[in-house]
Amino acid sequence: MEKLKYPLLMVHGMGFRDNRVIGYWGRIPKALEKCGAEVFFGGQDSNGSIEGNAAQLKKTIEAVLRQTGAEKVNIIAHSKGGLEARYLISTMGMADKVASLTTINTPHRGCVFAERLLELADKILTAWRGYTDESCFLFAETDGEPHNTITPIARMRDGKFQLDLVLRNNITTPEHPLGVYHPHAKLHHIKKENIGLIEVMGLAVLPSRLKQELFDLADALVARVPTAEYPEALQKHAAWAQEILARMAERSKK
């Protein structure tokens, strides 16, 4: 294979970031490098807008040209990355810096299924924004402040488009200033971080700090160590540990 005249920029699609460990492109970059290509990656946001990601690609290309001394780059773009590359070339004055653009599975003519999903999502969002159920302490708004919103998660699974809509209510009270439906203060020793996409997608990832802390807490509970003697890292779990010890004492009486 004849060596490429210009560096090669690989632009990923939606929902991913460039990562050498978990490679979006699999074995392709290394195979291209073995054939003499200088391979670089777009580095744009996983779910950014086409315009915003195109601006990031422009900066990446300018950096690649400075690093290599080349006049242009070749681009291989997948899915939404192809739309971002096209916007970069046609709108951001980079046509003379791109020798070629090859797109893979890019929806150049739009996507009927995606449009239908977005229409349905908008319909659900509109209905949810106005939804109130006082019996559940669920208010669409209070004093003119709206509370209902949606977190959308769009992905393709098993060759089909899937759109998860997470209904959210951000109402707060003096008792729960971070949010009634946010982890409450009594649970902050386990998880203070907001409930995000990973949790609502069913993956339920807890903070990594808990791994060692819970092992150490288990040892302390088994050894009946007084909570006042817990090391600093376990002090935030002390009240919880006292509840567990109290329950254990009650059970031992039965």
Residue 133 has what DSSP assignment? B
Query: Residue 87 in contact with residue 106, Cβ under 8 Å?
Result: no
pLDDT tier, 183 (very low <50, low <70, confident <90, very high otherwise): confident
Span 31-48, mean pLDDT?
A: 89
pLDDT in tens, 171-181: 999 998 888 98
Span 189-200, mean pLDDT?
A: 69
Over 90: is that where the pLDDT of 42 sits?
A: yes
Euclidean distance between CA atoms 99 and 178, whole angstroms: 51
pLDDT in tens, 196-237: 666 667 666 677 778 889 899 999 999 989 988 999 989 989
Quick one: tokens of 118? 């977005």
Q: State the pLDDT at residue 142.
A: 94
Query: Residue 140 in contact with residue 146, Cβ under 8 Å?
Result: yes
List the end-to-end C-alpha distance of the chain, in Å, as a whole number: 79
Over 90: is that where the pLDDT of 166 sits?
A: no
| Predicted structure pTM score | 0.48
Query: Residue 39 in contact with residue 8, Cβ under 8 Å?
Result: yes
Which of 31-35, 165-169, 198-202 comes out lowest in average pLDDT? 198-202
Assign residue 47 a region (left: φ > 0; alpha: ψ between -120 and 50; beta: otherwise).
alpha
Q: State the pLDDT at residue 249.
A: 79
Residue 139 has what DSSP assignment? -
